A and B are shown apart, each in its own frame.
Chain A
Amino acid sequence: MKTIGYIIQKEFKQIFRNKGMLPIIFILPILQLVILSNAATYEVKNIKFAYIDYNHSSTSRALIERFNASTYFDVLTDFPSQEKASAAMLSGQVDVVLEIPNNFERNLLKEKTTDLSITINAIDGAAAGVESGYVNQIVQSFNKDVKMTIIETSKKVMQPVSIESIPSFWYNTTLDYKTFMVPGILVLLVTMITLFLSGMNIVREKEIGTLEQINVTPIRKSQFIIGKLFPFWVIGMGLLTIGLILAKVIFNIPMLGSLILLYAYTSIYILVILGMGLLISNFTDTQQQAMFIAWFFVVIFILMSGLFTPIESMPKWAQLITEFNPIKYFVEIVRMVLLKGAGFMDILPQMAKTLLYAIIMNGLAVWSYKKVN
């Protein structure tokens, strides 16, 4: 125990003495959180909106006024006919065309139901999806009895899509993408910093020759490894804390669940990452190699984590791979706990898998660390 204390003391001294590393550890993640959270958004703004009003009633004008009032839509013009509207869409002047039929007001009053038709330029599928969501929201809030038919067009095909369900958004009712992204990016920075630091730390001692000196001392493998990794575990937890504070202060992210639960999960999660870092440094001889390998894994883990693209929309084989992605579990947990207020039993499956992962990773790492070769 005492021996571990000496190593921890030494590591902290070295970390805080390294003037080049300190800002990388603490300032870059903060910048990342602030910049990425604002930039990585699915929000589509300034949608070029046009309409064809065959009805010319007060109801139809009121509906259009709703679009006018929305910050997402720039209401451009009204077109006298569908042909003109289609031509404008083909030339890219218009993203969304709303077509209000002749009998719009009358049907709504008499039959308590009516139809609308929406045409959306779907060349950018993701944007089109978001746009249709916005339109839907506005129309539904205007009058629940309006039935819409959305036609998403690309330049080649017109595909009619009829929307039957009325969407209601739970947990993130305002569909604020920051609420969704900030917890995810928090995961990223905790992961990246701890993986890179731990991955390069032991290999650095290999490079400068001090590891050999350590290996001729009677220190036990476990003492050395615990002493080496503990400071990075502390840094990881520190980053989580800084990130949570920023999330609350700058982005006002809701924190419905128990923070203790989140910390408990993170403390296990960081062990996975540290084990991985150690494993990398056992199999590399230079910091450069370690950096490249760590980077390789981080990129795959991030892109397959469900942070930017939903895992549900990945092919089956890719979904299988994500089962081995620790970042995926952390992203799920952070969102579940912060946004949904998930409790211990809710996150138990992820927690158990992460714990198993931590045991395997660290087992492999300790096993592959050799004092004698």
Chain B
Amino acid sequence: MKKENVIVAEELTKAFGDFKAVNAISFEVKKGEIFGFLGANGAGKTTAMKMLIGISKPSSGQATVAGFDVYTQTESIKKNIGYMSQKFALYDDLTVKENITFFGGIYGLSRAKIKEKREQLVSELGLENISNKLVGSLPLGWKQKLSFSVSLLHEPKIVFLDEPTGGVDPITRRQFWEMIYKAADQGTTIFVTTHYMDEAEYCDRVSIMVEGKIEALDTPKKLKEQFKVDSMNDVFLKLARNIE
């Protein structure tokens, strides 16, 4: 079964002066895929992601996201994507419900739709008792789950997750990945960066960025065969060592 590409990047580059943070990367992501975007700190993952979500202009190269050009149609891209940043970015001084209402409103959902989503989300996350509490008072794991759900509020085609499970305990991480799978099952494409190599194993396909370039891109299984190792962890270490 041939699936359509929802993200296509060709020679995408972002330079800051002489330094190329992202150096001519090319890849495709298919609809409904969980695409792992791996790399060491400073490899250029976040910079690449910012170009794809339309808040950073590429220096050169081409890319389309959900069929829209990253140079000229950033606002159309934004209608079709969800984004969860490294930094927790809901409002700490608003309650769970108020955050949902606000972001629903910003994405232009109708009042009835917001209400429906709000109730659905609160019950799915089991937040009934604390839905009127300020988000700032929640534990990190809950915040992250809430933040992921909020990024899915407007039913985007693609959701970009930048290290969504950083600093979260193993149980919550597992729950988080269950949520990711559920979203992917419903046809949402997941573009996720992570530093946890066990999470990389959960992805359909994985790319590994080293110093601004994509050095490897395939399914976790094929990558392990290609590098003749048993785990994604070793794949990652091998690639990183080669560079050093």
Contact = CB atoms under 8 A, between A and B. Distances in A.
The answer to whether A and B come from one shared complex is yes
A208 B105 contact: no
A218 B79 CA distance: 5
A371 B55 contact: yes
Given A212-B85, A213-B83, A371-B55, A218 B108 contact: yes
B223 interface: no
A209 B105 contact: no
A5 B89 CA distance: 21
A13 B57 contact: no
A212 B84 CA distance: 10
Given A217-B103, A218-B75, A372-B74, A14 B53 contact: no
Interface in A210-249: 210, 212-219
Interface of A is mostly: helix
Given A17-B93, A218-B79, A219-B106, A213 B55 contact: no
Contacts of B55: 212, 215-216, 371-373
Contacts of A13: 93-94, 98
Contacts of B107: 217-218
Contact of B89 (A6, A212, A219, A373): A212
A371 to B, nearest CB: 7
Interface of B is mostly: loop
Interface string A3-23: 101110110011001100000
Nearest to B150: A213
A14 B91 contact: yes
A33 B1 CA distance: 74
A5 B85 contact: no
Interface of A: 2-3, 5-7, 9-10, 13-14, 17-18, 208-210, 212-219, 371-373
Interface of B: 53-57, 74-76, 78-79, 81, 83, 85, 87-94, 98, 101-103, 105-108
Given A208-B87, A210-B90, A216-B83, 20 more contacts: A3-B106, A6-B106, A7-B102, A7-B105, A9-B102, A14-B91, A17-B93, A208-B89, A209-B87, A212-B89, A213-B90, A215-B55, A216-B53, A216-B54, A217-B107, A218-B76, A218-B108, A371-B55, A372-B74, A373-B57
